[in-house]
Structure 1
């Protein structure tokens, strides 16, 4: 087994331990085709959910025409549904920003930094429940768990229209954060199930970029409600906004029950297509998932330096996101736009996010250079942060604000790395959860950088945006170097799994345990 770190380091010792386990595995004839149920390491509890289908599909050939047909079906049924849900989720998160200039702060008598805590409490609930929700996604069918969470979050979003005071509003936002905690980890797992590693970055870019569509639609819906005569509405416009988006979310949650939990059970594929799909993703060396929690994989999570880089990058990247997500509309009013105009001015932000992210994702897939996309993103974010922070010209500030729509590219790169470069289902689930905790920590801190004493310019918060993206750029370079070195060492050693280890791609091996695994760059 490879050791890309210094001898006697924790990671080196972890890989030596994995090597011992690997030798035991690969020397056992019990993992031969058709006998995987008996081996202690490859029992039904140990192997992937797709192992049975993999036995049946082994030897099938997926030609280019068939591959394209299966990819189109996955895009149509899986990527499209994830994109629509993600767009609505982003609208739900942005409702605070819209409502803040539609009367929310006035009606609930917010003062000082109270509005900052509205954004913070959402991510506090999100963070607290991230581990339980991620474990639920491993223990139970992914799509069904996700659908339950989506329906419940839609219901709570509708209830957010009811609070008459600050305390009850904060409570509903905290519960909403708890219920939205499962969505992104679920989408990361679904992406790794349905797409080859070289296809995952673009698909992750597509469903993540749908947040831009959510920003456009959310701004237009909020504007439509804001310009209406208040006497023609049954409740205040900002309250009605929560109801409308909540009902849409509930409908989508019901629809999500029809999303297959694995490709091997996809209702929109024929039996032959399901088997061919299994063969299509065999090269990922990750399978479909495993319902059993494995302590050895949990230990490996904390011995892998990548885990800490993912977490630190998520924190640094999400501090700007947490601030802009909650104060974006307020920042636009600071640039001289009235509240209604500010709602409309938020739509180009969504257009930049949607179009720019998909374009960069497409180019990155063509070149197979996802880390290069992250480098580009963070350099652009540093420039846009400087435009927000330092010029007094409002046009320059507006350009900086819109370019922040591209900030999510680096985030996409890192969650795509978790999907592609973290093998072993327990390891992937826990690593995803840790990443999302980092995501929450950043979003918790972000609104707090906007101090009421500095309103309406928030100079310190804008400088913090620049500093955070400089940190992200450094961590991206570090991760790239680590993965390049790991691949080089593995190539030089050229170790292989024992020839008797049939269907090893569906044996739930981690990236440390499998010497044939290579990290995507």
Structure 2
């Protein structure tokens, strides 16, 4: 490739990147003041950008395309996330249905069934993110979903070692789900739409909890009619549901809007116009070393990471010990414990959507995140420190809404991390933090402190306080960086990029693209 640079700075001439020959390069000035070379190894949408500039596009078309995405994409990814949460909670439900007794668990053996899952999640997060970038989305997602469902069925093993091994494998396979849904959300929705859509599919954790608890109650009520243990029936049912869902994903979800089976050729071009303002495009299959390094050297990556760790220490404890806390700490029977799992799922599902809908009135999603963090602190303190058993129960049930902070952050890096390799890397690191927090969480519930588990409850309080401080820090970083970029643009420092058409499809990172603004 030629070393010649096509500089258009201050020329006033608009140049389309999609029309620049392959042997030419374009240099622009990034917000940091350094020159960034824009190469032809751009986003998948760049191939359609030239044609897309010629199609009709207005608010009516934009609305029609959004509705199509809501009808064809959103329901299935919501169901996928619900099933993922349902599968995670089978361990907790199974624990009060005879799992611990049948597999002869003692000491911290049960804690490690929770931590083992997230150990697999943590170890395989980078490989799964790489595979999702490298291979077609629908085919890769199908393989992960099919194997995940198969492994869950096999978790009905008769011994502890086999069960623990399969739990680790299950975590490895499920590590692909959240990054996959983040990719899909950023492909199909504009920045201002991504928060609420992320909230909808993430709130389906509550629907998954409701569905999983309902299945568990049904299995418990018919224990005497099975030829195998009830907890094994629970695992097999949820595993088979996941296997069936994998085929639905394969044949329904397209690899990107550019290949969507339910869009006409004209609508695919219009979709390119629709997501142009995201400054991100559809994706890029090439691993870019510079973007990988930038992700590791961007301080916001570590704010995401430690926020994820702090939020997921309580999550790991609750998903593993939730049923046990209701059973041993609050004194509810096995069936009542499983029924309360349904209530918690319903509160999580409805509460998250209700709070996320406030984005129509409170335009800053980070404000909603901080509000969610405050709620977490209130609810966990009710459960931990209150002497009233009903207040403790209320605090526990409302902790289902704790995922508000997590899906807010997920929507943040879906919107606010530019460059496909960088986005995948930050996404992976956030989920490594997710896995690390969920590994630590069950270990704070010490067997020596059973049945009250005071240490685990205190760890939840501290963790939610830390997550609140980190959310404030991230909000401040976005605010001041946007102010800086607006000032530099008004001073004419970014004139070169302002005359480059299709720059949003050049696969630039948020630090490289001077037209990029962080969505708060």
User: With structure 2 as the length reference, what TM-score do the two structures score?
Assistant: 0.93
Counterpart of 1:498 in 2: which secondary structure?
helix
8 Å contact from structure 2 (residues 186, 414) kept in 1: yes
Q: Note the alpha carbon deviations across 1:361-401, whole angstroms, 9 max, x for none.
A: 11124532100111110000001111111112211111111
> How has the CA–CA distance of structure 1 residues 497 and 514 changed in structure 2, closer, same or farther, with 3 Å as cutoff?
farther
Output the CA distance in 2 between the equivalents of 1:481 and 1:284.
21
Choose which of 61, 68, 80 in structure 2 pairs with 1:66.
61
The root-mean-square deviation of aligned C-alpha atoms, in Å, is 1.8
- Do the aligned residues in 2 keep the contact of 1:294 with 1:426 (CA within 8 Å)? yes
1:275 corresponds to which of 265, 269, 278: 269
Q: Which residue number in structure 2 is paired with residue 314 of structure 1?
A: 308
Alignment match, 1:304: 298
- 1:245 is displaced (CA, Å) by 0.6
The CA deviation at 1:349 is 0.7
The residue that corresponds to 1:519 in the other structure is: 518
> What is aligned with 1:246?
239
Match of 1:262 among 249, 256, 259: 256
Where does 1:460-499 land on structure 2 (aligned, <5 Å)? 460-494=455-489, 495-498=494-497
1:36: Cα distance to partner?
5.2
The number of equivalent residue pairs is: 497
Residues 87 and 213 in structure 1, CA contact (< 8 A), matched pair in contact too: yes
Match of 2:441 among 446, 451, 466: 446
- In 2, are the aligned partners of 1:199 and 1:365 still within 8 Å (CA)? no
Partner of 1:10: none
Structure 2 distance, partners of 1:73, 1:422, is 25
In structure 2, the residue matched to 1:35 is 20
Equivalent residue number for residue 89 of structure 1: 84
Contact 1:193 1:263 in 2 (8 A): yes
Q: In the TM superposition, what whole-angstrom CA distance separates every residue of 1:426-450 from its partner, at most 9, and x where no partner exists?
A: 1000010000000000000000011
Contact 1:323 1:450 in 2 (8 A): yes
Q: Compute the displacement of 1:285 (Å).
A: 0.3
Alignment of 1:392-403 (within 5 A): 392-403=387-398
The alpha-carbon distance between structure 1 residues 43 and 481, as it changes in their structure 2 partners (threshold 3 A), is closer
Tell me which of 79, 102, 105 is aligned to 2:100. Answer: 105
Pairing of 1:282-293 with structure 2 (within 5 A) = 282-293=276-287
Structure 2 CA distance for aligned equivalents of residues 234 and 84 of structure 1: 30
> In structure 2, what is the equivalent of residue 425 of structure 1?
420
Partner-residue secondary structure (3-state), 1:129: helix
Between the aligned partners of 1:518 and 1:273, the Cα distance in structure 2 is: 27
2:149 aligns to what SS in structure 1? helix
Partner of 1:9: none
Which deviates more, 134-143 or 209-218?
Answer: 134-143
Q: Distance in 2 between matches of 1:360 and 1:306?
A: 25
Q: Is the 8 A contact 2:18 2:47 kept in 1?
A: no
> 2:184 matched to which residue of 1?
190
2:204 matches 1:210? yes
Distance 1:317 1:48 in 2: 33
Q: Which residue of 2 aligns with 1:146?
A: 141
Uncovered stretches (5+) of structure 1, i.e. residues with no partner: 1-20
Counterpart Cα distance in 2 of 1:26 and 1:453: 69
> 2 CA distance for matches of 1:203 and 1:76?
12
Give the structure 1 partner of residue 503 of structure 2: 504
Asked whether the equivalents of residues 55 and 266 of structure 2 are also in contact (C-alpha less than 8 Å), the reply is no
Q: Tell whether the 8 Å contact from 1:201 to 1:365 is kept in structure 2 after alignment.
A: no
Post-superposition CA distance 1:149-194 (Å, at most 9, x none):
0011000011111x21111110010001111111100111111110
In 2, distance between residues paired with 1:165 and 1:25? 67
Q: Distance in 1 between matches of 2:295 and 2:515?
A: 19
Check if 1:233 corresponds to 2:226.
yes
Q: How far, CA to CA, are the matches of 1:32 and 1:338 in structure 2? A: 66
CA distance in 1, matches of 2:360, 2:295: 27
Residue 19 of structure 2 aligns to a residue whose secondary structure is coil
Deviations 1:456-507 (A, max 9, x none): 2111111111111110110011011111000001111113443552211111
Structure 1 contact 36–43 (Cα < 8 Å) conserved: no
Q: Indicate which of 203, 207, 215 corresponds to 1:221.
A: 215
Question: Secondary structure of the equivalent of 1:62?
Answer: coil
Task: Describe the shift of the 1:373–1:474 C-alpha distance in structure 2 as closer, same or farther (beyond 3 A).
Answer: same
Conserved? CA contact 2:254–2:260, under 8 Å = yes
Render the CA deviation track for 1:29-59: whole Å, top value 9, x for unaligned: 9964423544455555x10011111111114
TM-score by length of 1: 0.92
Per the alignment, residue 6 of structure 1 pairs with none
- Aligned-residue offset at 1:452: 1.3
Partners of 1:91 and 1:352 in 2: how far apart?
15
Q: Secondary structure at the match of 2:372?
A: helix
Alpha-carbon distance between aligned partners in 2 of 1:487 and 1:468, rounded to the nearest angstrom: 29
Deviation at 1:25, TM superposition (A): 7.0
Residues 364 and 372 in structure 1, CA contact (< 8 A), matched pair in contact too = no
Q: Distance in 1 between matches of 2:49 and 2:448?
A: 61
Report the CA distance between 1:345 and its aligned residue: 1.0
C-alpha contact 1:205 1:412 (8 A) present in aligned 2: yes
The alpha-carbon deviation at position 234 of structure 1 amounts to: 3.1
Q: Using the alignment, how far apart are the partners of 1:459 and 1:435 within structure 2?
A: 28
Contact 1:30 1:36 in 2 (8 A): no
Tell me how far 1:65 sits from its aligned partner.
2.1
Q: 1:176 to 1:372 in 2, by over 3 A?
A: same
Would you say 1:127 and 2:122 are equivalent positions?
A: yes
